[in-house]
């Protein structure tokens, strides 16, 4: 096979066979297919899409490019959660230990920042010593012993996706339904799970800008889950503004710990509990949503959820008590409102790119991150504000990047005379 021929075939809207996809992707892994050729294929897929058969084949090729986990010897329900990515979305850090405390097993393989969205692994690596790259057997032992563990994608698990994931981040091909499906579902299937819940973000700070796009993605995920015998629930959540009070790196870990202590922001906990409820009903630990939400709250109130998080961090070598001193920002500034009114709009994607500029994400492969960087949202949509009031507190270790990001943030909100209707949970599937 010739790479250019397969690129042209896809470019012209024709379906690739499973053999062709396997040859091309494995060729990229081995170096026979160049990065430029892989980029061209990704762009062709972005513009022409993939059929159902192609998408299933893509998931299968990525899955079988590496090893998989097997928890069939456990009596516990094995499940996971995934988000399509948002600004301030640290739900995984809160939900995994809550589910572990409830009796589920959560083997979470998470990603790094993608585009303007933050990555769970980048956040966890702000904890001194935290091991995100264990051997698979070690990871499995952690899950079996502690109920949850979180690791980065390795060369063992879906290495094809790992390499392509990084390339998508740099080539503007992130918001493609088949590529999103292939990336998410190959990793989830490789975890050896029986069920999952997917949080599909919708709005100006999401890859899916409309409910129509989100439902299309959700429908695909349900089909793939069914094809691979994974019970899959879908929730759609609003990303027209950041989630929680903080967005960044270490500050999101700190906010997650506060949430597990019972001091989480209302919006963050609403999304967390909604997702957790789906998993608890799946595994029959709760009969309905209200009961599941009550169970999660009780696990926080009793300290069991926090203990599960601390156990996970300790097992993975992390020193949580050193987080604050390790990621203390050297510089900060405030972005102020320019007029009186009610905040009626936030450009969440632009806030995400400001976070990248601040040091929370990568503009190029290999860019270093600033663990101390982040934004505190002092005002959000619906809040009354007066001219001169602080809206964002911005902080990092580099004054030059701080000034640049702050300038970007000045254009990311507006004020009006009334508060817009805003619903956080947009539905399910």
* Catalytic residue status for 183: yes
Q: Which two tokens stand for residue 224?
A: 């793939």
Q: Cβ-count burial of 411 within 10 angstroms (0-12 exposed, 13-18 middle, 19+ buried)? A: exposed
* Catalytic residue (one of 112, 187, 201, 401): 187
* Catalytic residue (one of 81, 162, 168, 258): 168
* Catalytic residue status for 367: no
**Residue position matching structure tokens 């710990």:** 257
What letter would DSSP give residue 116? T
* Catalytic residue status for 357: no
List of residues 6+ apart from 295 with CB closer than 8 A? 102, 280, 285, 286
* Catalytic residue (one of 92, 183, 186, 194): 183
Q: Which two tokens stand for residue 339?
A: 């007029």
* Residue burial 123-142, b: 16+ Cβ < 10 Å; e: rest: bbbbbbebbbebebeebbeb
173: enclosing H helix or E strand: none
Q: Is 343 helix (H, G, I), strand (E, B) or coil?
A: strand
Q: Provide the β-strand partners of residue 343.
A: 415
Please report, in angstroms and rounded to a whole number, the separation of the first and last CA atoms in the chain: 40
* Catalytic residue (one of 122, 131, 161, 199): 161
* Catalytic residue status for 187: yes
Alpha-carbon distances of 242 from 117, 275, 369, rounded to whole Å: 11, 18, 20
Phi and psi angles of residue 112, each rounded to the nearest 5 degrees, phi first: -95, 180
* Catalytic residue status for 122: no
**Residue position matching structure tokens 């290999």:** 366
Strand 106-110 with 341-346, pairing: unpaired
What number of other Cβ atoms are within 10 A of residue 282's Cβ?
20
Query: What's the rounded Cα separation, in Å, for the pair 132 and 125?
Result: 7
Q: What is the DSSP code string of 226-290? A: HHTT-EEEEEEEE-SS-SSSEEESHHHHHHHHHIIIII--HHHHHHHHHHHHHHHHHTTS-SSHH
Q: What is the CA radius of gyration of the chain?
A: 21
Q: Which long-range contacts (CB under 8 A, 24 or more apart) does 301-304 make?
A: 301/262, 304/101
Phi and psi angles of residue 236, each rounded to the nearest 5 degrees, phi first: -105, 125
* Catalytic residue (one of 10, 81, 82, 258): 82
Q: Cβ-count burial of 159 within 10 angstroms (0-12 exposed, 13-18 middle, 19+ buried)? A: middle
Write out the catalytic residue numbers: 82, 161, 168, 183, 187
């Amino acid at each position: 096979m010739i790479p250019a021929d397969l690129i042209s075939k896809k470019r012209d809207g024709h379906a690739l066979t499973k053999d062709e996809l396997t040859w091309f992707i494995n060729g990229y892994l081995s170096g026979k297919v160049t990065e430029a050729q892989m980029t061209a294929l990704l762009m062709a897929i972005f513009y022409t899409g993939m059929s159902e058969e192609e998408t299933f084949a893509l998931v299968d090729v990525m899955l079988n490019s590496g090893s998989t986990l097997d928890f069939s010897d456990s009596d516990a329900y094995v499940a996971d959660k995934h988000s399509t990515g948002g600004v301030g979305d640290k739900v995984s850090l809160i939900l995994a230990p809550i589910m572990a405390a409830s009796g589920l097993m959560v083997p979470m393989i998470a990603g790094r920042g993608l585009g303007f969205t933050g990555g769970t692994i980048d956040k966890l690596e702000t904890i001194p010593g935290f091991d995100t790259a264990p051997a698979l057997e070690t990871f499995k032992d952690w899950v079996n012993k502690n109920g949850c563990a979180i690791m980065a994608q390795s060369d063992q698990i879906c290495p094809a996706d790992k390499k392509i994931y990084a390339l998508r981040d740099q080539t503007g091909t992130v918001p493609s339904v088949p590529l999103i499906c292939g990336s998410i579902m190959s990793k989830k299937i490789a975890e050896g799970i029986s069920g999952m819940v997917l949080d599909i973000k919708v709005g100006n700070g999401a890859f899916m800008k409309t409910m129509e796009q989100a439902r299309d993605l959700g429908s695909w995920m349900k089909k793939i889950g069914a094809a691979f015998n994974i019970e899959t629930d879908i929730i759609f959540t609003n990303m027209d503004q950041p989630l929680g009070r903080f967005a960044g790196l270490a500050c999101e870990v700190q906010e997650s710990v506060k949430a597990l202590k019972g001091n989480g922001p209302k919006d963050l906990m609403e999304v967390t509990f909604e997702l957790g409820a789906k998993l608890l009903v799946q595994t029959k630990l709760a009969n309905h949503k209200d009961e599941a939400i009550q169970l999660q709250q009780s696990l926080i109130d009793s300290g069991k959820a926090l203990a599960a998080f601390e156990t996970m961090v300790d097992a993975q070598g992390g020193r949580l008590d050193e987080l604050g001193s390790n990621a203390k920002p050297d510089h900060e500034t405030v972005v102020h409102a320019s007029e009186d009114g009610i905040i009626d709009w936030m450009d969440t994607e632009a806030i995400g790119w400001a976070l990248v500029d601040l040091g929370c994400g990568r503009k190029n492969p290999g860019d270093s991150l600033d663990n101390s960087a982040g934004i505190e949202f002092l005002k959000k949509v619906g809040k009354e504000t007066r001219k001169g009031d602080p809206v964002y507190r911005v902080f990092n270790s580099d004054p030059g990047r701080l000034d640049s990001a702050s300038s970007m943030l000045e254009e990311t909100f507006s004020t009006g005379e009334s508060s817009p209707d805003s619903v956080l949970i947009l539905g399910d599937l």
